[in-house]
Structure 1
Amino acid sequence: MKPDTLLGDSINAGIADINVPQTQGWEAKLELGFAFKYGKTVLAHRRHFGPLTVQRPFYPEGGVCHVYILHPPGGTVGGDHLTICAKAAAHSHALITTPAAGKFYRSSGAQATQMVEINISESATVEWLPQETIIYEGAQLKSAVKVELAADARFIGWEILSLGRPACAENFDYGLADLGWQIYCQDRPLFLERLRLDARAFAARWGLQGFSACGTLFATPASAESLLAVQNLIGDTKGRGVTRIDELLVCRGLDSRSDRLRGFFEQVWGIVRPDTVELNACAPRIWAT
């Protein structure tokens, strides 16, 4: 397999070895590198191993590069290992999403993993906006997202989870989701969190309180005006909350339906995007299909 690249080795850090030995499940790795050239952001580096790739970029709003990550198996089972590394060079702007919901299926004991690394250079922007992730009852998974920001880099990202399948009367009575987020700016931690969701956390009042959908949205830099606007959007609605840690806005939600929670996050995105990246919201067309 030959790398598809215009940047050579300069962007080749992050996933050290693309040639991974076969394990009991699928092993898949994806490297993406974005650069600002010819007046727009281009997908200048693309390299993959296993069933993880991208479609050609789309440009529905001029110079911003919209990319859809594809996972052809359609879901992740115990023993699968997915790794995604995205790097945005100076002045580039990439929006990364998925064409459908991700799925982690029931496991007999083996753990599935998904690791995401996002590196954003000076004056660059990345929006990490995958569609929701469905975690089946009995799934065993570990997921982590690590974001590294330069001093004036910009980032908007979310994670929307649906535990069990409430439409099929399936809760989350067994299984484990070990989830982590790390956001750094110039090696200084802005946000560090690890969340372990099992049957007890799913049902407990200190946990999800039986709500099947939960999610978090991040935006940086975000102003006090954005915080106030999101607070006004939330009003007295239960299961919604927002705060601001320095210039990092953190918005959370609980709901009985993941589509309703995602609709809320899209509204929040529409509020914070003009402030954070100086562009109005432009939803990827795949979201409408």
Structure 2
Amino acid sequence: MYDETLSAPQMQRAKGRATVSFVMGKGRARLKDLHQSGSAKAMLPRVHSETPEVVFLNTAGGLTGGDDMRFSLEVGAGCRVTATTQTAERAYAASAGHATLDVDIRAGAGAHVDWLPQETILFERSALHRRTRIALDRDAACLTVETLVLGRAAMGETLTTLDVTDRREVTRDGVPVLLEPLRLTDAALARGHAPGVLGGARAMATVALVAPGAEDALDRVRAVLDADGVEAAASGWDGKCVVRALAHDGFPLRRLVAQVLMTLRPGPLPRVWQI
């Protein structure tokens, strides 16, 4: 017999932390520490270059309300490291609460870090709080990208309900140099066709190079922005080159983002990126 006095079952939630650090040794970046627990993993695939790659992975297969995932990367002085995610992250419908995803990256003097996560796909009724912090010392540099896709176009999905806070910040010697706050709610989706909101787009991306002289890359970047199905623009100022792009589907946006990244960095994209 059903007992109404019984409390609701406690849902299992995914939690995890993965931490990786590198230091310079014998002329190249070498692994110093590696920690992983819960559903967060960090893999170091074999690569044919002097630049190591870190692939962060959420083995839970996605995020939902109450999940808590934390990735951190420390790149020592003079090192160059590329970090990415194994596949697209998925924010699923939340029955209660928000999923939390924190990314913390530090780059020492003269270091260069490429933080190139694959896209995040938002599902109907998803609730996500994400914060990405990149702390640069002195003349360190970073190249970073973030892509959000609102539902799966191939499945005919149209989102009407979600609650997403996505804050990205880059500091140099503790001083903010780039802040990218984003808030997506039901109200924003309802006005999604307004030019000041999404302009009808279902996917959006920001690519940012923060480095001494980064603004000099502006002409090279603008030369590759003419892509079918994507509206994009680039700006360069004060040690930054930033590209923002909107598209009606995630695939053409992904191709453009890949082209921009290859323009801004030496060598190919991480092998887990499939275009």
TM-score after normalising by structure 1? 0.85
Q: Please, which of 237, 240, 243 is the counterpart of residue 245 of structure 1?
A: 237
- Larger deviation: 190-199 or 212-221? 190-199
CA distances 1:60-109 after superposition (whole Å, capped 9, x unpaired): 22x10011112111111110011111110111111111221111101123
2:5 matched residue in structure 1: none
Q: Please, which of 263, 269, 274 is the counterpart of residue 283 of structure 1?
A: 269
**How many residues are aligned here?**
261
Alpha carbons of structure 1 residues 73 and 236: separation in structure 2 relative to 1, 3 Å: closer
Q: Please, which of 243, 258, 266 is the counterpart of residue 266 of structure 1?
A: 258
**Structure ranking higher in strand proportion:** 2
CA distance in 1, matches of 2:234, 2:246: 12
CA distances 1:225-275 after superposition (whole Å, capped 9, x unpaired): 3111222322597620111231111111111221211211111112222xx
Match of 1:283, SS state, is coil
Q: Please, which of 37, 41, 44 is the counterpart of residue 49 of structure 1?
A: 37
Please tell me the root mean square deviation across aligned C-alpha atoms, in Å: 2.0
Any conservation in 1 of the 2:55–2:85 contact (CA below 8 Å)?
yes
Any conservation in 1 of the 2:193–2:201 contact (CA below 8 Å)?
no
Larger Rg: 2
TM-score after normalising by structure 2? 0.89
Match of 1:285, SS state, is coil
Offset at residue 151 of structure 1 (A): 1.1
Any conservation in 1 of the 2:123–2:151 contact (CA below 8 Å)?
yes
Could you tell me which runs of 5 or more consecutive residues in structure 1 were left unpaired when the two chains were aligned: 1-22, 274-279
Offset at residue 283 of structure 1 (A): 1.7
CA distances 1:207-234 after superposition (whole Å, capped 9, x unpaired): 1123111110110224443111222322
CA distances 1:16-49 after superposition (whole Å, capped 9, x unpaired): xxxxxxx952221111101122332222111122
**Structure ranking higher in helix proportion:** 1
2:174 matched residue in structure 1: 187
1:13-162 correspondence runs (5 A): 25-61=13-49, 63-162=50-149
State the one-letter code of the partner of 2:245: G
Any conservation in 2 of the 1:58–1:67 contact (CA below 8 Å)?
no
CA distance in 2, matches of 1:260, 1:235: 11
CA distance in 2, matches of 1:46, 1:118: 14
Instruction: Report percent identity of matched pairs.
Output: 27
1:7 matched residue in structure 2: none
